[in-house]
Structures are given as structure tokens and as C-alpha cells.
Amino acid sequence: MGGLVEKKGVNLFTSFAGASLIEEGPGIAGVITEDKGVDKNGKPKDNFTPGYELRAKVTVLAEGPRGSLTKNLVSRFKLDGLNPQAYGIGIKELWDVPAGRIETGFVGHTLGWPLDSSMYGGGWIYGLQQNRVSLGMVVALEYHNPLFDPHEAFQKYKTHPHIRRIIEGGKLIRYGAKTVPYGGWYSMPRPYLDGGLIIGDSGSLLNSQRLKGIHTGIKSGMLAAETIYEALCAGDTSAARLSNYSAKLEASWIKKELWAVRNFHQAFAHGLWSGLVHSAAQFVTGGRGFVDPMRAKPGYQEYSKLNRDGGLVDQSTRFKGDGALTFDRLTDVYHSGTRHEEDQPCHLVVTEPNICVDRCVREYGNPCQYFCPAAVYEMGMEKGAPRLKINFSNCVHCKTCDVADPYQVIEWKVPEGGGGPNYEGM
């Protein structure tokens, strides 16, 4: 798509990450890119280039779920929706399989297994062209066991006889992981302010029932473009003028689609079985269900549901896979194609590291070692005391740590532009 828009005269600048927003008055006026050529100690290297200040009359935030700029913007300007955002983690593999195993266009969705009934999640099996299969599992980050491992659950998912029959003897091609915003319409932040608009997953436009958001993301971008054009023609990019974007969302098929599933994920707040009852009621009432809106408790966040069941765990017992059908996390990370310049500051900033080696060990057993699908966080011993090692170069940019850390001391910042996973063909 980049080539198509460039033919229309649009300039695209890749390999630059937005590190911060330019705030002016009650709104924003652009972004500042990250400094390039900084070593792991924060000192300039020979190729150091300071970040650029990119000013714009309107800045559109399209960072996907849990975008670092959007997160700070929503908090700073109090743009929060009625409900707090809820998240799940999606883990995906792409396989080449022997001919005849699956029809092109086959779509299969599953619910539950190998998850227990206290958890919300399921998987998919899609038959692609040229004997390729897309496999994945999405798990709500609201589970109770701090030692639950979503990656391990997905690997076990592939051992189901139906899935094994499809992919056995095939070859793993690609791997990826990403959080998804489950909250829906009532978790949507106010998507406009002076000089800024929020679109796509950043604006909670995912259909949480169908786990689809590309179509709504594209449409929201189109509506944002219309709004910006009208604002520029009028010479007015204030919040009052840009609020037309919100009105356009309300009048579009996006509202119709998301309104019908506005309470869907909240229905599963207490597990699978009660969720099926609530979602069935929503199906026959056009999304209303028994209560509309279904409100989350004040202060609710994913990490608040974790049981305190701490203590150091023997990591030698971790799931390793068989190397043919199932894999360890590092093998999957290799297939994500992720690349980061090693000599740069760690983009996963732990603001209070003492918590990780003391309270979190005792209270939760360091869940970062488990919820991260890329083996970024590793607890070890140094001189008889726990030590946290952060393998930031493994990061697949899923944002799970920023969401699920029970103390909220992990802050995901942008790494040097151009680094990260290679999801070509995914």
C-alpha cells in the first residue's frame, strides 16, 4: 500500500519512531522522533542523530493497541472511555503443510481448550493459498494464575488431534504475537482533541466478538482523512472542528457493527460459562444483554486479577516443545524475524527494579517470565540474590508486559526506528 500512496504524492518516512508528542495548550502539534545512534549506556555514538521535531496541523495516532503515545495522551488529557480498556494476547504461527491437508479458504474457530473455564480465549485455523495455514490463539489477560504461560498454552493447542492432522510433517514459517484491545465501544477514548485524532485499534475499534479490526481501522482512517480535509479547508483544527470525526464514526457502519457487540467481552469477566449466558442474551437483544452498559469495577485492570502465589520457580521445568510440532519461545522468536540494534538503550524500562527482585518474587513469582511470548524477561541468581535480565532484542512488540505487569513498573518505549519483528507474509 505504501507504493500506491506514494504514487499519489504522499511522502512516507519509515524507520522513524515517534518518541513523544509535541503538546501545545489543550492539544498536540506533532511528534518528536527518537534519537538515533545512542549506545546502551545512553551516550551518543559516532552516527548519533538527534530526534526530529515533526510539526503538523493535525497528528493522527494509529499505533495499534497500547500505543505508547496514545497511552500517555489519553492519560494526560483524560480522554478515557466509560470502561477501562481490556486486552488479550494473540499468538500466531504460519505453516507450510503437505498438499491436501486443508482447503484454501477454510475457516475454523475454537473456544476453550486447552484453557480452563475460568479463562476466556480460543483459537483459529485458516487455510491459505499454496498449502499454507495460519494458526493462532487469543487469551484474555485477565487470568488468575500468575504462572500461566500463553505461549505454552498455544503450543499445547497444536497437539489437538484435529490440528495435529493438519500441520504434522509441515514446516513452521513465521511467528508473531500482539495484544488486542477487547474493550469495545464503551472503552473507546474520546478520539479527538486540538490538533489530534485517534484511529484503529488505538481508538478501541476492534470487533471483540469477531476479533477483526483491519476493516474498521481502514474505515476510521478514511473518516479521519475526510475530517482533516474539511478542517484544513476551514482553517480550523481545534477540537470543536475535529469532533466531526466522532460524528462520522457514529454515522458509519463502524458504529452499527461495534454497537451490536458493545458488551461482548465484558460478558466473560467471570469466566466461560457465565459469559456464554450473557453473550447469548446479547445476541437476542442487539448487544444489550442483561445490563447496558456492563461496567467494569472502578480501578479494574488485567493485572488486578492475579492471585498472589509467589516464590522462585525452577525454570528447568519450563515447556520446551518437541522441535517439530511444538517449540520453545526462543525458536518461535527466531521465526518472527525480530531484529534490534544491540548497542542501544533498552526500550523496556523498569521504573522500580527493586520490586522485581523482591516483592514480585514473593507475591507473584515474577509473571513477566510467563506472560511474555518472546523470552524477554529472565530471572536468575547473582551472588545469592534474585536478578532480572531483560533480553530486549527478543522483543516482538506485543506490548503484553506494559499491560499485564502487576505493579505497572514496566514501561514499553519505542526502540530505535526500524527495529522489531518482520511480519512479512503473516
Per-residue 3-state assignment (H helix, E strand, C coil) for the chain: CHHHHHHCCCCCCCCCCEEEEEEECCEEEEEEECCEEECCCCCEEEEEECCCEEECCCEEECCCCCCHHHHHHHHHCCCCCCCCCCEEEEEEEEEECCCCCCCCCCEEEEECCCCCCCCCEEEEEEECCCCEEEEEEEEECCCCCCCCCHHHHHHHHCCCHHHHHHHCCCEEEEEEEEEEECCCHHHCCCCEEECEEECHHHHCCCECCCCECHHHHHHHHHHHHHHHHHHHHHCCCCHHHHCHHHHHHHHCHHHHHHHCCCCCHHHHCCCHHHHHHHHHHHHHCCCCCCCCCCCCCCCCCHHHHCCCCCCCCCHHHCCCCCCCCCCCHHHHHHHHCCECCCCCCCCEEECCHHHHHCHHHHHCCCCHHHHCCCCCEEEEEECCEEEEEECHHHCCCCCHHHHHCCCCCEEECCCCCCCECCCCCC
pLDDT digits 0-9 by tens, 19-45: 999 999 899 999 999 999 999 999 999
Confidence class for position 316, pLDDT limits 50, 70, 90:
confident
pLDDT digits 0-9 by tens, 196-229: 999 999 999 999 999 899 999 999 999 999 999 9
Tell me how far the alpha carbon of residue 271 is from its chain's centroid: 22
**pLDDT attached to residue 299:** 53
Which whole number is the average pLDDT over 125-130? 96
pLDDT digits 0-9 by tens, 264-298: 999 998 889 999 999 999 999 999 999 999 987 65
**pLDDT attached to residue 368:** 95
Q: Is the pLDDT of residue 343 over 80?
A: yes
Confidence class for position 425, pLDDT limits 50, 70, 90:
low
Vertex 37 angle, CA 31 and 42, to 5°: 90
Which domains, from first to last, does the chain contain?
Answer: 2-60+186-263 (3.50.50.60), 304-412 (3.30.70.20)
**pLDDT attached to residue 303:** 66
**pLDDT attached to residue 270:** 85
Q: Is the pLDDT of residue 160 over 90?
A: yes
Which whole number is the average pLDDT over 418-425? 82
Burial class of residue 93, CB neighbours in 10 A (0-12, 13-18, 19+)? buried
- Whether the model clears a pTM of 0.75, i.e. scores above it, the answer is yes
pLDDT digits 0-9 by tens, 362-414: 999 999 999 999 999 999 888 888 899 999 999 999 999 999 999 999 999 99
**pLDDT attached to residue 21:** 97
Contact criterion met (CB below 8 Å) for 376 and 348 = yes
Considering only residues 143 and 309, tell me which one the structure prediction assigns the higher pLDDT: 143
Confidence class for position 1, pLDDT limits 50, 70, 90:
confident
